[in-house]
Structure 1
Amino acid sequence: MQFFVSTTMVLALGFQFVLRAALVPSTARRTLLFTAAAVVPLIIVTALGWVPFEADRAIRAVTPVHATVAIAVNVLIWWTLVTIVCTAISKIIFNLRREVRQAMQMGQYTLEEKLGEGGMGVVYRARHALMRRPTAIKLLPPEKMGESSLARFEREVQLTAKLTHPNTITIFDYGHTPDGVLYYAMELLEGASLEAVVEHDGAQPAARVVRLLKMVAGALAEAHDIGLIHRDIKPANIFLCHQGGELDVAKVLDFGLVKTVREPEDAGLTRDGVVTGTPLYMPPEALTDPDKVDCRSDLYALGAVGYFLLTGGHVFDGNTMVEVCGHQLHTIPPPPSARLGATVPAKLEEVILACLEKDADKRPQSARELRQRLADCSDAGVWEREQAQTWWAAHGAALESSDSITMADPLASTVAVDLARDRRTL
């Protein structure tokens, strides 16, 4: 009877200590000392013969000394087992927590929250250890660490770091963890992609479209001047934010598919007959002859972005990638006014349709020319600061709390097309 009572008491108390070890972060040494110290009052209680009830005291009074010693030894053995279990649990959990902290550490940056994931990496919200500056960290997951992916990732950050235009994402830092995970730090933008803006609010005012297109054209002009072709301009890669006291600031993101027109080493990162891009924003020459892709190809995609902003829909729709690519090659886009069934500023419509010409020679020949033509769209009006303030007050909170990085439409995602295999179907 005495053995049963003491064992039950030890196990009940031991269960609580095990719970503490599992739920309360602690080093193994601290848990060992804390749990081991608890056996002292248990042994004292056992040795002194204290029991809570009068009937038990009567039983204990006639219990031989050797039986009391046996009970104390029984308590000691069980509590030793409890101590070992608690210490082991604390060691495992504490080490796991430490490993997680180390995994979330990228140099001077600590990862805080996953923001999104794309074909070339995962983006996290992060914090610099000393400056406490909010930062976005893009890293290449271990499962994507092939030789080609590593080269593309390094190339993306090196090329983006060359750009200083205020409408291009800014790179702060670059490095790798001790276990070889590559990452780079960039400015953290508060806002939403143009894709999310249109999905949330539909077609945008012409004056706002002009303002945003001019910003992106300015960013592309700098990139084109140093021989960089983006090749994946689309609403998901243009971020609308408020920055430096300015509202409606457009930022060009994701230079992972950049083509250099002046550096021969670029050839090693592409495959003959394979074009990479987003079908809904891919220019015809990218499908027929990827080697002919140049700065005017980015302007075609930017025209498609302007069309999307003006009408709330893509230039071409289709059920498959082949169908959409076929439209890009052969179908004349309907004017935005026809798609909307409403009047669109004539000059703006003319500029957008010029960007969407099948023949690159008929498009604006440079981003600077496009920017000037957009500046001449006086019939579109001016997007005033007060209008931007009203819009952000009405929609900002909902947009910033949503996951605007996730894309459900596979035709709006970046893909690789093997022309040698698929050209016959286009």
Structure 2
Amino acid sequence: MTRPPTITLTLVEGRLDRTEYVFDERSTSVLGRARDCSPRLPNDEHHRTVSRHHCLLDINPPAIRVRDFGSLNGTYVNGRKIGQRRNDQTPEEGAAQSFPEYDLREGDEIKVGGTVFRVGIQVQHTLERIQCRKCGRDVSGETGVRTGEYLCASCQAEPAAMLRLLLDLARPEHRELSSIAGYTLLKELGRGGMGAVHLARHESTGKEVALKVMLPRVAVRAEARARFLREVALTQALSHPNIATLHSAGFSNGTFFFTNEYCTGGSLDLLVDRNDGRLPADEAVRLVLQALEGLDHAHGQGVVHRDLSPSNILLHKAADGSTTAKISDFGLGKAFDQAGFSGLTRTGDTAGKPWFMPRQQVSNFKHATPAGDVWALAACLYHILSGEYPRDFAPGKDVWQVVLDSPAVPIREREPSVPQALANVIDKALQEEPAPGFETAAELRQALLAAADSW
């Protein structure tokens, strides 16, 4: 068995509590003087020009990338400045600028104020030649890790073609594909950066499911694959009327696939789009109250979503015309990212969009709590009522620094028609300092019910 690659930051200049920081899995690290930074730099005469949130390290061993946040004194790599705002600019003006990112290599040194780290990258190389599992092209140079299953960039761009191939291969001799055997694709339901989802019908039973594929951006090692599927199994155990059921999950030919409950009403973001970007308060609150019931059940089972947005709150329409909100993809996206399968997602052209993400999930990548889910669902409610995001994501501004440094804008500044009692609950729910406004889904649900009684 090959050892996983490792990134090490070794302190070569400066005084910190630790002299070495080791990363053996997907992570992010914010350097600066703020208390939520790690490593946190001292607030002394050698670091007075270091920003609270100075620069971001995006880490997916063996890859590591650094980006300056428009700091006053800049970040240096091997003595070369990679980012610095002008002396006459405010931190906000500096954050609105675009600074170059730098892919770090073995032996590179990062200097922030009076602190210097040396980068160490340990990779156990093998002589294994990696081929794309779909087209057979040699992709050894693309993967970074020299072992595992992989799809080339061209095949990753065609998730529907990969899904059709898996369905063609789903015969008795391919036991790993048994859960999708006999399904026929009907139409595409959605597509994202990591894959796509289709409506599929079983040929003999007529059962319809949402069939989803997720295509890793890196070679999938057996250990990482097993760890990810173990986490997915926690989601499969969830059973609640306000949670979209995950029927099955598997992996074959460099591709993860899932069969999910098909919800006939689409997703909440599509409903909002059909209603000119906003929903009436009574309808928005009714759907979010239902989602909170599903969230409360999942948290009671120890499962945190970590990636809530209107696109993964699905709507199921019953024969009587009623609509039920169901949360989908519990933990799926973030588990996929944390396993390293998304590549580098905090920097670069494919960086994520943290419109509904609480601050804690940026400053501490691995730290996901029920309170973070509650914040994200309150952010969804804010969005479907106002058509805006809770934070100001100005064009050109670094989205991750916005999350770290910007509080939510009070909702009635965006949409004055929101009832005052409801606005008070939403504003409290989006509080992050000194503590979350609501720790649990049940607390937020009770507050919303009380507010609904007053308008």
Which letter maps to 1:361? A
**Alignment correspondent of 1:67:** none
CA deviation after TM superposition for structure 1 residue 284, in Å: 1.3
| Equivalent of 2:168 in 80, 83, 102 | 102
**Alignment correspondent of 2:267:** 193
SS at match of 1:123: strand
Q: Does 1:162 align with 2:231?
A: no
CA deviation after TM superposition for structure 1 residue 180, in Å: 7.4
211 and 360 in structure 1: CA distance in 2 versus 1, 3 angstrom threshold = farther
Alpha-carbon distance in 2 for matches of 1:126, 1:153: 24
Check conservation: 2:217, 2:341, Cα contact below 8 A: no
Alpha-carbon distance in 2 for matches of 1:185, 1:285: 31
257 and 176 in structure 1: CA distance in 2 versus 1, 3 angstrom threshold = closer
Once the two structures are superposed, the pairs formed by residues 234-245 of structure 1 within 5 Å of their partners are: 234-243=309-318, 245=320
**Alignment correspondent of 2:295:** 220
Task: String of CA shifts for 1:72-116, please: whole Å, max 9, x gaps.
Answer: xxxxxxxxxxxxxxxxxxxxxxxxxx9897258732323333322
Of 225-234 and 328-337, the range deviating more from structure 2: 328-337
Q: Does 1:358 align with 2:432?
A: yes
Once the two structures are superposed, the pairs formed by residues 250-269 of structure 1 within 5 Å of their partners are: 250-255=325-330, 256-257=332-333
**Alignment correspondent of 1:116:** 190
Alpha-carbon distance in 2 for matches of 1:293, 1:188: 27
352 and 101 in structure 1: CA distance in 2 versus 1, 3 angstrom threshold = closer
Check conservation: 2:314, 2:325, Cα contact below 8 A: yes
Higher helix fraction: Structure 1 or Structure 2? Answer: 1
**Alignment correspondent of 1:348:** 422
Q: Does 1:332 align with 2:407?
A: yes
226 and 172 in structure 1: CA distance in 2 versus 1, 3 angstrom threshold = same
Q: Does 1:249 align with 2:324?
A: yes
Task: String of CA shifts for 1:298-357, please: whole Å, max 9, x gaps.
Answer: 1111111111011011122425685333333333333222212x3322221111111111
Check conservation: 1:207, 1:380, Cα contact below 8 A: no
User: TM-score under structure 1 normalisation?
Assistant: 0.56
Which letter maps to 1:338? E
**Alignment correspondent of 1:315:** 390
| Equivalent of 1:286 in 351, 361, 366 | 361
SS at match of 2:317: strand
CA deviation after TM superposition for structure 1 residue 136, in Å: 1.4
Structure 2 unmatched runs, 5+ = 1-163, 172-179
Once the two structures are superposed, the pairs formed by residues 178-189 of structure 1 within 5 Å of their partners are: 182-189=256-263
Alpha-carbon distance in 2 for matches of 1:267, 1:215: 28
SS at match of 2:307: coil
Task: String of CA shifts for 1:272-299, please: whole Å, max 9, x gaps.
Answer: x987964111111222233443111111
Q: How many residues align?
A: 276
**Alignment correspondent of 1:53:** none
Check conservation: 1:112, 1:125, Cα contact below 8 A: yes
| Equivalent of 2:278 in 203, 217, 220 | 203
Alpha-carbon distance in 2 for matches of 1:144, 1:192: 30
Q: Does 1:295 align with 2:370?
A: yes
User: TM-score under structure 2 normalisation?
Assistant: 0.53
**Alignment correspondent of 1:84:** none
100 and 164 in structure 1: CA distance in 2 versus 1, 3 angstrom threshold = closer
Alpha-carbon distance in 2 for matches of 1:364, 1:269: 31
CA deviation after TM superposition for structure 1 residue 156, in Å: 5.5
112 and 283 in structure 1: CA distance in 2 versus 1, 3 angstrom threshold = same
Greater length-normalized contact order (CA 8 Å, ≥ 6 residues apart): 1
Check conservation: 2:430, 2:436, Cα contact below 8 A: no
Alpha-carbon distance in 1 for matches of 2:217, 2:439: 41
Alpha-carbon distance in 1 for matches of 2:218, 2:364: 28
Check conservation: 1:232, 1:277, Cα contact below 8 A: no
Which letter maps to 1:349? A
Alpha-carbon distance in 2 for matches of 1:144, 1:380: 52
| Equivalent of 1:127 in 193, 201, 219 | 201
Which letter maps to 1:298? D
174 and 338 in structure 1: CA distance in 2 versus 1, 3 angstrom threshold = closer
Structure 1 unmatched runs, 5+ = 1-97, 260-265, 382-426
**Alignment correspondent of 2:132:** none
Check conservation: 2:298, 2:304, Cα contact below 8 A: yes
Check conservation: 1:206, 1:380, Cα contact below 8 A: no
